[in-house]
């Protein structure tokens, strides 16, 4: 993929994209589409049966991403209004019906700063983040998908769909944020979490499991639900603080830091936020803290090292004295014998 910002860049960028396509896929065909700078990524859950009935179950905000991979999703989107929801939801249904598609699915869009939306793709399956839609609508999407597969008609219309509250999902991954998010493997030696009211976890792991190199790094989905966005966010932060995994490294503290960032609750972020704003600020903050702490810490470590060395030398000297003293050995044996009696 190449971003072209001027006509002068078009020919060279097209040539590079064709060369990459040819070497990777044996086909140099490329297509050109509008580039939306710093968009939001918003998707709509749809259900469509083979009888021509379609409903949407509202949007999911998926803009909190790292390297184009979603890490926090929520519904509703903080930028959504009823007019935009209606337009995007109806568009999602038309796309599916025009394609003759029936199943559960997700229609994904990009939304610019002026709330213009652009079709991205359709995922013809249930998404990782489908639980937040279940929490907000009260529907079991797996059950609805199976009913569609059996040839049944949808049991409800668009007007029957009711949205309540707010839901957030965090993807907990076995990766090391301090090492450029490299995947982390190994045995889970300890695992504990406290899930209070309005919390849900979808996972397939437990204490004692081995995290290997052969699968995706995501090991758990943590979902919170509350009457408002603020309540759902507070529940999620509390659950993340109480979530403990020892063994492989995880992104739990990273997710917590994102939720506590000044941009999160106001909804002031887009798909570029993590790379452009959050990570550079986090790195700068860590460097400042290191500058402030290092001199005092170095002095403390030096003092501790000297004291530890002196204590070790005294301990070793005492040990040698005991070893060389026959009378001390005899006394020790007598004491041990008395203790056995």
The residue behind tokens 């026959």 is 326
Q: Report how far apart the first and last C-alpha atoms of the chain are (Å, whole number).
A: 82
Q: What are phi and psi of 140, to 5 degrees?
A: -95, 105
Given a contact cutoff of 8 angstroms between Cβ atoms, the answer to whether 62 and 123 are in contact is no
Q: How far apart are CA 176 and CA 219, in angstroms?
A: 13
Per DSSP, helices labelled H in 157-278 are 229-241, 252-259, 273
Q: Which secondary-structure segment (H or E) carries 314?
A: helix 279-324
Residue of 15, 94, 125, 333 with catalytic role: 125
Q: Residue 269: which of 25, 38, 16, 37 has the closest Cα?
A: 38
Q: How far apart are CA 182 and CA 140, in angstroms?
A: 35
Q: How far apart are CA 216 and CA 186, in angstroms?
A: 14
Q: Is 125 among the residues known to form the active site?
A: yes
15 three-state secondary structure: helix
332 three-state secondary structure: helix
171 three-state secondary structure: strand
Which residues carry out catalysis?
A: 125
């Amino acid at each position: 993929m190449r971003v072209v910002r001027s006509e002068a860049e078009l020919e060279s960028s097209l040539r590079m994209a064709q060369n990459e396509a040819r070497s990777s896929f044996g086909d140099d065909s490329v297509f050109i589409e509008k580039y939306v700078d710093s968009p939001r990524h918003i998707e709509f859950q749809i259900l469509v049966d083979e009888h021509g009935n379609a409903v949407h179950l509202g949007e999911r905000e998926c803009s909190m991403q790292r390297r184009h991979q979603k890490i926090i999703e929520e519904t509703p989107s903080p930028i959504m209004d009823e007019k935009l929801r209606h337009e995007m939801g109806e568009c999602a249904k038309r796309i599916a019906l025009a394609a003759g598609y029936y199943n559960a699915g997700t229609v994904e869009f990009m939304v610019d700063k002026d709330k213009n939306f652009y079709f991205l793709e359709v995922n013809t399956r249930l998404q990782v983040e489908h639980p937040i839609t279940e929490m907000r609508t009260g529907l079991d999407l797996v059950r609805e998908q199976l009913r569609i597969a059996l040839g049944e008609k949808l049991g409800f219309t668009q007007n029957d769909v009711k949205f309540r509250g707010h839901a957030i999902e965090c993807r907990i991954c076995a990766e090391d944020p301090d090492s450029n998010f490299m995947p982390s493997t190994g045995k889970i030696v300890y695992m504990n979490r406290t899930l209070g009211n309005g919390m849900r976890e979808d996972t397939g792991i437990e204490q004692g499991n081995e995290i290997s190199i052969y699968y995706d790094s995501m090991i758990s989905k943590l979902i919170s639900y509350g009457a408002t966005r603020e309540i759902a966010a507070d529940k999620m932060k509390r659950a993340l603080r109480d979530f403990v995994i020892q063994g492989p490294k995880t992104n739990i503290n990273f997710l917590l830091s994102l939720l506590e960032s000044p941009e999160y609750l106001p909804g002031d972020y887009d798909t570029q936020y993590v790379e452009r704003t959050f990570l550079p600020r986090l790195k700068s903050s860590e460097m400042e803290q290191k500058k402030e702490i290092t001199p005092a810490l170095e002095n403390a470590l030096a003092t501790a090292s000297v004291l530890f060395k002196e204590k070790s030398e005294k301990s070793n000297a005492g040990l040698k004295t005991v070893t060389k003293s026959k009378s001390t050995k005899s006394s020790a044996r007598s004491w041990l014998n008395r203790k056995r009696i």
